[in-house]
Amino acid sequence: MATTTIAISGYPAAPRPFTLRLHDWVTTVDHKRLGILYILYSLIFLVLGGIEAAIMRWQLIRPHNNLVSPEVFNRMFTMHGTTMIFFVAMPMLFGFANYLVPLMIGARDMAFPRLNAFSFWMSALGGMLLYFSFLGGDGLYGAGSAPDVGWFAYAPLTAKTFSVGHSTDFWILSLLVSGIGSVGTAINIIATILCMRCPGMTLGKMPLLVWLNLTMAVLVILAVSPLTAAQIMLLVDRYVGGHFFDTQAGGSAVIWMHFFWIFGHPEVYVLVLPAFAFASEIIPVFSRKAIFGYSVMVLATVAIAFISMSVWAHHMFTVGMGAGANIFFVLSTMAIAVPTGIKIFNWLATMWGGKIHFATPMLFCIAFLFQFLVAGLTGVTLAVAPFDWQLGNSYYVVAHFHYVIVGGILFTAFAAFYYWFPKISGRMYNEALGKLHFWLFLIGFHLTFDFMHIPGLLGMPRRIYTYEPGRGWDIWNLIVTIGVAFQAAGVLVFAANLVLSYFRGRAAGNDPWDAWTLEWSTSSPPPEYNYAVVPSVRSRRPLWDLKHPEDPDWRYE
């Protein structure tokens, strides 16, 4: 095992000047530094997207509120959705994949370090283009304006007729550019996993995190490509007289929906598979047991990826597709509940008979299990097409997918932050602050997203900047808005914890969790080359084998 680092003579011991260090970061091709850049970048956008959400919730705190105009509200929900999916969730998860995958497979870097840097900077450019629209996206009257067509930008609202000025163009370009970055990173992850595993690490001995990220990367290529094609078609419509989606010239609004959702639904799994990946690493370590049903977990992952390519039109049950198509998409959508359920049961069985330690990462994972259960069940209610005719485009849907994205993905991402913070920074985080963050965020999450289901059941559609009194929605909207304050407080504690611990935390050592995967065998933070000697493995838990020579895993796998 590679537990030593190499001292390189002449390596500067004194701290380098700030400009030189900045130059190092901007020009870096090191997977760990790029991973950190991705993550920091996503945290900045998390704050921006959170502010946009808070403005919406404040506006909706009571009926006929006048905090913002309808124009501003429409920009807020468009920017919030676009930001959170493309510039928070994806870069955050790509960041962790970048950082962790090479370490976990015993490699010294990604397969294509320069492509890696290129991909990151393309994504960064995409985010900047989106936010530049606040200044440069001239509307009709020359005022600065951001996109206001909704994050799925249904045609023909995006046609020149209805969306004058350039805000929609900035939206198109930002997704086009960041999409190129996403595909670049996906290719890189696939090549790295297929070609750079250390000796002994067959596909069946990879940690589950690596399997899940491999599947995620394949899905990125399949899902982002149609989105990129659709963005180009929309640009053609807007600038060179194309009629793909221009209904006034015979184009089809429905084709845009198909293009968008053949991206949009696999995208959900692009985001949730890395969340599963975190849970699949963290739950075993804090339960002190091997993951239950490894090969079934892998099969379920691949099954989810396959099925996810055939479910997109469940976003279109109200579009008038005809009974046959609706029935097909009911079945395919419900089918995905089976492998997802298998995963929940396997995590449950992993905890069963273990010795569960309630450190902050595990608390976030346990909350994730409960919340993802609810998100899955409300997902099944939405898969029932007739029920969806009532629930679709209502606040129930908004509550459902925030349960997936916040309750599922963000919770496990927080777990991942706390779990790998010692590895990335070399310091332990503050456990008390971590628990405070957990409880604040848990309360805020449930106040907001539990109660958000109810106005949907009472007929409140999404994307309305205000609503009529007397619909029975007022009290629920008030509670939902109050929850936002708790979530914001939780995130502030999280940020304070990261900053304080980075400067003041105690040294973490190589392996603070007594964990089993390869990244814990090198120093914290790992040296640039990760491993002085390339490790070789015999099982899925190489460090378990090392720590328990009398009872190694490879006897049973």
Question: Who contacts 250 (Cβ-Cβ below 8 Å, separation ≥6)?
Answer: 243
Residues between 358 and 377 that touch another protein (CB under 8 A): 358, 366, 369-370, 373-374, 377
Contact (Cβ atoms closer than 8 angstroms) between residue 102 and residue 31: yes
Instruction: Please identify which residue in 392, 490, 512, 535 interacts with another protein, judged by CB under 8 A.
Output: 392
Q: Judged by CB, which is closer to another protein: 47, or 349?
A: 349
Among 3, 5, 247, 510, binds another protein (CB under 8 A): 247
Buried b (16+ CB within 10 A) or exposed e, 288-318: ebbbbbbeebbebbebbbebbebbbbbbbbe
* 295 contributes a contact to another protein by CB under 8 A: yes
If one asks whether residue 294 binds another protein (CB under 8 A), the answer comes out as yes
Please give the Cα distance from 420 to 101 (Å, whole number): 13
Q: Is 65 a binder of another protein (CB under 8 A)?
A: no
Shortest distance, CB of residue 13 to another protein, whole angstroms? 39
**Closer by beta carbon to another protein, 47 or else 546:** 546
| Amino acid in the structure at residue 53 | A
Nearer to another protein, 187 or 458 (CB): 458
Question: Is residue 162 a contact residue for another protein (CB under 8 A)?
Answer: yes
Binds another protein by CB under 8 A, chosen from 25, 135, 468, 506: 468
**Residue 528 vs 557, nearer CB to another protein:** 557
CB of 389 to another protein, least distance (A): 2
Residue 44 or 348: which CB sits closer to another protein? 348
556 binds another protein (CB under 8 A): yes
Inter-residue contact 50 to 81 (CB < 8 Å) = no
At 450 the three-state DSSP class reads helix
Judged by CB under 8 A, does residue 3 bind another protein? no
Q: What are φ and ψ of residue 535, in 5° steps?
A: -70, 165
Tokens 């708790």, residue?
486
DSSP 472: S
State yes or no: residue 16 binds another protein (CB under 8 A).
Answer: no
Among residues 473, 494, 513, 520, which is the contact residue for another protein, using CB under 8 A?
A: 473
**Contacting residues for 265 by C-beta, under 8 A, at least 6 apart:** 308, 311, 312, 314, 315
Give whichever of 222 and 349 is closer to another protein, judged by the CB atom.
349
Q: Which residue has the tokens 């989106």?
A: 130
Enumerate residues 6+ apart whose C-beta is below 8 A from 19.
Answer: none
Please give the size of the binding site for another protein, defined by CB under 8 A: 97
At 149, which amino acid appears?
V
459 binds another protein (CB under 8 A): yes
How far is 513 from 508, CA to CA, in rounded Å?
10
14 binds another protein (CB under 8 A): no
Stretch that binds another protein, among 119-127, 167-175, 209-217, 332-340 (CB under 8 A): 332-340
**Which part of the chain contacts another protein (CB under 8 A), choosing from 39-47, 115-123, 282-290, 504-512?**
282-290
Is 478 a binding residue for another protein by CB under 8 A? The answer is: no
Q: In the structure encoding, which two tokens stand for residue 389, read together?
A: 């005719």
What is the Cα Rg of the chain in Å?
24
Segment near another protein (CB under 8 A); pick from 6-14, 380-388, 503-511, 517-525:
380-388
Contact track, another protein, 418-457, x by CB under 8 A? ------------------------------------x--x
- Residues numbered 335 to 354 that lie near another protein (CB under 8 A) are 335, 337-338, 341-342, 344-346, 348-349, 351-354
Q: Which of 267, 318, 262 is nearest to 81 (CA)?
A: 267
Q: How far is the CB of 359 from another protein (least distance, A)?
A: 11
Q: Which two tokens stand for residue 435?
A: 């628990």
Count other C-beta atoms under 10 Å from residue 321's C-beta.
17
Place of tokens 């919770």: 411
The rounded distance, in Å, linking the Cα atoms of 374 and 334 is 15
Nearest CB to another protein, comparing residues 97 and 209: 209
| 3-state SS assignment for residue 456 | helix
Return the number of the residue (44 or 249) whose C-beta is nearest another protein: 249
What is the residue-wise DSSP string for 38-57? HHHHHHHHHHHHHHHHHHHH
Q: How far apart are CB 393 and another protein at their closest, in Å?
A: 5
CB of 54 to another protein, least distance (A): 19
The pair of three-digit structure tokens given for residue 35, joined into one six-digit string: 């991973």
Residue with tokens 């840097």: 117
Q: Interface with another protein includes 150 (CB under 8 A)?
A: yes
Contact window for another protein (CB under 8 A) among 29-37, 164-172, 209-217, 387-395: 387-395
Residue of 104, 33, 102, 3 lying closest to 519 (CA atoms): 104
Tokens of 293: 């049903």
According to the binding rule CB under 8 A, does residue 154 interact with another protein?
A: yes
Q: Is 267 in the site for another protein (CB under 8 A)?
A: no
552 is a site residue for another protein (CB under 8 A): no
Q: In the window 202-241, what residues touch another protein (CB under 8 A)?
A: none
Distance separating alpha carbons of residues 214 and 273, to the nearest angstrom? 10
